[in-house]
Amino acid sequence: MSHIDSDETAPLLRDDANSQDEDYGSRWRSIRVMYFTMFLSSVGFTIVITSLWPYLEKVDSSADASFLGWMVAAYSLGQMVASPLFGLWSNRRPYREPLVCSISINLAANIYYAYAYLPRSNNKYHMLMSRVLVGFGAGNVAVARSYIAGATSLKERTGAMANMSASQALGFILGPGAAQGRGGEQTCFSVRPSSFIQGVGLEHHVDEDGNHVRSINYTSEEVETVDQCAVLTSNILFFVVMFIFAVFETIATPLSMDMFAWTRKEAVLYNGIIMVGIGFQSILVFLVVKVAALRFGDRPVLLAGFFIVFCGFLMLLPWGNHFPKIQWADLKNNSLTSLMSLGPSPANGTLEPTGCPYVQTWCQYTPAIYLAQYITSDFLIGVGYPACNVMSYTLYSKVLGPKPQGVYMGWLTASGSGARTLGPVFVSNVYTHLGPRWAFSFICGMVMGAMILLAAAYRRFVAFSVRHGRVVE
């Protein structure tokens, strides 16, 4: 897309075409630095999260699975607190400052994490604090989104946001193979973007037609007429988007072990392959979203994404007469005595039990989910989630208009972080006690509610300039 085509009637802000081309090239270089920053951040996150449990066991043998849950949630909690703060900072000062500061915090926190085994006691709490600080540094996602919103025109916005999401998805794909070990390798992924940001002229602002400007004057009328109903609705929708994905990634391993009688090693391997496939699929979806949004508009694509996610979770509802294998169901009286009389078994550590744990009473009367159901659901969610993700904050940025978006983007990121904190807690409790039928029915209802909310506020989700009649949609 040519920058000259954005508005042929707009007055030139430079003396000649060469200076305009220089501004355009420099602007897009700075945007690509944001892509690269998000890519490396995703790589670093995935490196750590895939080795978190083995490292925790090695550092502090007193840590259990319950503490692991806090370790996972700590990142999102730190990000939830930091996002509005970094967003406010980026509104008041150059973007470079909060970005470099957040990356420096991330670097220090990962060094702390790598050497959490050195203290003589309370090592798990040192690990926990390091993950909170890493999450705090990850609050720069709000700054990156705010910068891209301010450095792109309305026509460029969807494509730029989709490219940033694709960069993050690629980082999640490549992360597990990038390094092995305790997690200190992530430090190099903090140093690189920091040096790039310091070396690149990173302050570019354009109006919504794509014309490069030094600064934008905001009248009190423009500030006051941001559609707060659309803002609130966007935050709720983004919460739902991140909540359902947190549920999806959390439930994959226990669900597959219960339904398909996979061992833990098999579940990690097979689900890892599936997640890599979904990652590549999401990159393709981001490319399709850019074209679809130009053809049909942002709102229909978001609504379609929610509908596809709804179908994905609907597919996971159990049906039929086939029931999951129950752990130790073939043992007489399900007693430890009979268990040990049968030789190699989980009781003496020579064989891992497979199937649905007998303590989950719903396993006895809830039909099993078929493997074909599971894979089809993965495919559908892998299509719908990326579309919902990128379109929700793209629409959000357009609703906010030309004013600095740091604080608003901070709240949006915080709502997503809150969802990623609550999602695993919700699904671990509902699934364990009530089973997949209740858990996935609730998610289907939640997604249906999001679609109804979007339909109700549909007319409000228009760009600020379109709403005020300055630009024709």
Angle (CA) 256-258-260 rounded to 5° is 60
The larger pLDDT score, comparing residue 305 to residue 140, is at: 305
SS3 467: helix
402-439 pLDDT, tens digit per residue, is 777 788 888 888 898 888 888 877 877 888 888 899 99
The residue with greater pLDDT, 115 or 215, is 115
**More confident site: 156 or 24:** 156
Instruction: For residues 132 and 73, give the distance between their C-alpha atoms in angstroms, rounded to a whole number.
Output: 9
Q: Pick the closest to residue 32 from 160, 129, 220, 123 (CA basis).
A: 160
> What residue ranges define each of the domains in the chain, with the CATH number in brackets?
18-214 (1.20.1250.20), 222-329+352-473 (1.20.1250.20)
451 pLDDT higher than 90:
yes
What is the rounded average pLDDT of the residues 157-174? 82
Give the CA-trace dihedral at 88, 90, 94, 95, to 10 degrees: 160
Chain centroid, CA 317 distance in Å? 24
Mean pLDDT of 33-51: 79
Specify burial of residue 302 (Cβ count, 10 A radius: 0-12, 13-18, 19+). Answer: buried
Mean pLDDT of 444-473: 83
pLDDT above 90 coverage of the chain, percent: 19
Is the pLDDT confidence value at 218 over 50?
Answer: no
pLDDT at 178 over 60: no
Cα separations in angstroms, 99 against 93, 260, 312, 414, 420: 11, 45, 37, 17, 23
Name the band, by pLDDT with cuts 50, 70 and 90, for residue 466.
confident
Closest to 472 in 3D by CA, of 154, 61, 98, 143: 154
Predicted TM-score (pTM) of the model is: 0.77
133 pLDDT band, cuts 50/70/90, is very high
pLDDT score of 345: 44
Is residue 397 a contact partner of residue 230, using CB atoms and an 8 Å limit? Answer: no
Q: Is residue 162 over pLDDT 90?
A: no
Cα gap 465→473, rounded to integer Å: 9
Most trustworthy range by pLDDT among 46-50, 55-59, 107-111, 166-170: 107-111
Q: Whose structure tokens read 């604080």?
A: 407
